[in-house]
Amino acid sequence: MEKNGLEHRFRERKIGLWIAGVSGFLFFSFFLAPLLLAEGTVPELNGRANAIDFASSNGTLSHGNSPQGMAHQHADGSIHYHDSFVWSDLDPYTGFVYAFGDLNCHQNHERSWEINGNQMPVCTRDVGIFFGLMIGGLLFSRRAFNRWTVRDTCLSMLPDEWLTDVYVKNRRTIAWLACGVVLCVPLIIDGFTQLLTSYESNNLARPLTGAPFGLGLAVLIGAMIASRAEKFEGAGAVLLPGNARFELQKKPEEE
């Protein structure tokens, strides 16, 4: 019997490995794709987040290749015009990776790394986030247990001895939120300080703050999929730290 009261945790392991596998494929592809392309294939880009900019050289879905989209103002105030770039002209693998980056990332050149003379498909913050997603998925596959709710499944990643007082005093929500805050605050502080002040982050701080956020996101996604109440005979069958037990509240009988 596992520490949550079930006979096995095959499902949690599979979910974690899927998260790690998908995230790891993308993470390593961010480095491999520009390395496989000929030097200078990908110029300095400046796109938009959550929008397609470089699907074609003209016509639809080509904002990034328009005169307006190709002009980029650097931090020193100078205007730089990047060359045209079309990911649909690439081979299927590198085209897919750069299309993913085009859709999901702003692809700001000053916030991205270059490999082999080619800008990477996503910015350094996203590189950190996907690294965190990969590590979070691996950790989830090894440590997570279905404990009825998303909150308690997330907390199962921590050693039970750390959580004894938390469960005895029923401070699970506080502990869960505190873990989320610890993982998200570095990114929030770095990102919003940059947005609201003259502070400009750098390409070392961005991945370092993105990685904890990605790790927390992986655990949350895994817990949302893995937490299943129907796997237990009842709430009282869930084993919790400190010998605590769930107890479902009953509605008072109508007179």
Q: Which amino acid does the sequence have at 246?
A: F
pLDDT of 162-213, one tens digit each?
999 999 899 999 999 999 999 999 998 888 787 777 777 888 889 999 999 9
| Pairing of the two strands 118-119 and 114-115 | antiparallel
Q: Quick: pLDDT tens for 27-83.
A: 999 999 999 999 999 998 888 888 888 888 765 666 656 655 555 655 566 666 666
Report how far Cα 27 is from the mean position of its chain's Cα atoms.
11
User: What was the pLDDT predicted at 255?
Assistant: 45
Rounded Cα distance, 83 and 230, in Å: 56
- Residue 232 to residue 250: CA distance in whole angstroms: 18
CB of 115 within 8 A of CB of 37? Answer: no
Which pTM does this prediction carry?
A: 0.87
